[in-house]
Amino acid sequence: MKQFGDGLFAKNPVLVLALGLVPAVAVTTTAMNGLALGILAAVVMLVAAAVNWALIPYVPENAKLAVRVLVLIVLVTFAYGVLVQRNPGLAAGLGIFLPLLVFDELLLRAGDGEKSLPAALLGACGQGLGFALVLVLLGVVREFLGMGTVFGKQIVSGALAPFSLAGTVPGGMVILGLLLAFVNLVSKRGGELHD
Amino acid sequence: MTDGLQILAQTVISSNLILVQGLGLYALTRYTKSVREAAGAGVKTLAGMLIGSILLWLLSPIVPSSPAPQVGFYLLVGLVASLAASKLVMCETSGTDQAVDGALVGLLLLLGRGNTVGFQNVWTAFGAGLGFLLVLVVVATVRRRLDLAPIPKPLRGLPILLITVGLLGMALLGFRF
C-alpha cells in the first residue's frame, strides 16, 4: 500500500519527480484531454510494469532500455489504434502526445526497483493515478482560464479573455510552474529538482 | 532558397520545439545546469534529428498507411535514431544518462503528419534541432543568472525555471500571428 500512496502524493510524478512534464504542459489545454491522456497513461503504465517485472531480469544490462521502449511501443501503438477506432476526435485532440508517452521517462521507469509483482503493480497504479490527477487539475485550470469552460460547459464568457494565453504551451509552462511553487509552499520544501 | 530560409525561421523561431511546442522538457530541466552540458545534449539531439529524418526519407516507400501501424513505425525509427545518436555523440550528462529522446521522436511524429516529403524534411529537422540546441544553451545561461537572483524559496529551482521558459515562449508566440 505504501507504494500506492507514494506514487499519488509523496513521489507524485509531475509535482515531485518532475517527470512527464511534456504531456502535463502540452496536452492539458482542456480538462477532457488531460483526463483521457491521464487514464491512458495509467493503464499503459500498469501493463508495462507487469511486463517489465516479468521480462527485465532476463535482459542483459545494455539492452534494458531498448527492451523497455519496445514494450511501450507495442502497448502504446495498440492503445492508439483502439482510440482512433473508438473516438477519432479525442485521438486527434491528443495529437502526437499519446504516441510520445513511449519516450517519457515516467513510463520507462514503470515498475522499476520493485521486487514483487504486487508492489510493482501498486507502484505503477499510484503513479499513474497521481499523474492523471495532476493532468486533470491542469486541464480544468487551463480550460477555465483559456476558454471559460470546464469539461466543455460554459462557466463564464468574455471576462477572462486576457488569460487566453493559458491555452497555449508557454502559458501551460507558467501555470505548471505556479502550481509547483504552490505545492512547495504547502509542503514546505525548497523547489530544487528532486532527481 | 527563400523557402529554405522560411522553413529555418519557422522551425527555429515561430514553432520552436521546446518553447512553442512544449517538447523536450526533460532535457530542458535536466541538462541545463551548465552551458557545456546543454550544448552537448543539444548537439546530440540535433544529430539524432538529422539521422531520424534521413532514415524517414530513405524509408518513405515502406511507411504503413493505416494510423496505428504508422505511429508504431515512427516510434521505432525514433528509437533507432536516438540510440544511434547517443553512440555517435559522446557527451557527459549528469543524472541518468537517458539515451532515448522525447523531442527527437516528437519531431519525427510531427514530420509524419505534415504534408512535406523527401529532403525538405531533413532541412526541417535541422532547423528544429538548431532551435532546440539554441534554447538549451540560452536557458543554461539564464539559469546561471537565476542562481544569483533573490527568489522566494517555494519558487526556487523548477518552478521559476518553468515560468521563465514560459515567458520566453510567449515572446516567441508573437511571431506566429
Contact between B159 and A96 using a beta-carbon 8 Å cutoff: no
The residues with which A150 forms a beta bridge, in sequence order, are A153
Contacts with A, B 61-120, CB within 8 Å: 67-69, 71-72, 74-76, 78-79, 82-83, 95-96, 98-102, 105-106, 109-110, 113
B147 interface with A at CB cutoff 8 Å: no
Which one of A174, A176, A186, A195 makes the best mutation probe of the B interface by having the most chain B beta carbons within 10 Å? A174
DSSP label of A33:
H
Query: Mean pLDDT, chain A, as a whole number?
Result: 87
Q: Are B24 and B130 in contact (CB under 8 A)?
A: no
Average pLDDT over residues B93-119: 73
- Give the pLDDT score at B11: 87
A164 within a domain of the structure (yes/no): no
What pLDDT does B138 receive?
A: 95
Count structural domains, chain A: 1
Is B10 touching A (CB cutoff 8 A)? no
Residue A162 backbone dihedrals phi, psi, to 5 degrees = -65, -20
**pLDDT at position A78:** 94
Instruction: Inform me whether the pLDDT recorded for A39 exceeds 60.
Output: yes
State which residue of chain A sits closest to B96, comparing Cα positions.
A195
DSSP designation for A161: G
Residues 71-130 on A with a CB inside 8 Å of B are: 73-74, 76-78, 80-81, 84, 91, 96, 99-100, 102-105, 108
3-state secondary structure of B19: coil
* B8-57 pLDDT, tens digit each: 888 888 888 899 888 988 888 888 888 988 998 899 899 999 999 999 99
Of A158-167, A173-182, B55-64, give the range with the top mean pLDDT: A173-182
Q: What's the confidence (pLDDT) of residue B176?
A: 75
Q: Is the pLDDT of residue B97 over 60?
A: no
Domain-located, residue A42: yes
- Residue B64: φ, ψ to 5°: -65, 150
Q: Find the mean pLDDT for residues A61-76.
A: 89
Determine the structural domain holding residue A80 and report its residue range.
2-140
C-alpha to C-alpha distance for A102 and A67, rounded to whole angstroms = 12
pLDDT tens digits, one per residue of A149-162: 888 888 887 767 77
pLDDT score of B94 more than 50: no
- Chain A, residues 121-140, CB within 8 A of chain B, namely none
User: Average pLDDT of A53-67?
Assistant: 86
Element (H, E) at B74: helix B67-88
Range of weakest confidence among A151-155, B126-130, B132-136: A151-155
Query: Is this structure's pTM higher than 0.95?
Result: no
CB contact under 8 A, A73 and B76: yes
Beta bridge partners of A154: A149
Is A150 domain-assigned? no
The C-alpha of B109 sits at a distance from chain A's nearest C-alpha, in angstroms, of 6
* Domains of chain B by residue range: 2-173
CB contact under 8 A, B173 and A168: yes
| Residue in this structure with the C-alpha cell 521480462, named with its chain if needed | A55
pLDDT tens-digit profile of B74-92?
A: 999 999 998 888 888 765 5
Supply the pLDDT for residue A195. 40
Res B91: pLDDT: 59
Is A100 in contact with B106 (CB distance < 8 Å)? yes
Q: How sure is the predictor about B163, in pLDDT bands with cuts at 50, 70 and 90?
A: very high
Mean pLDDT throughout B111-137?
87
Say whether residue A187 is in contact with chain B using an 8 A CB cutoff.
no
Return the pLDDT at A115.
78
pLDDT at A122 over 60: yes
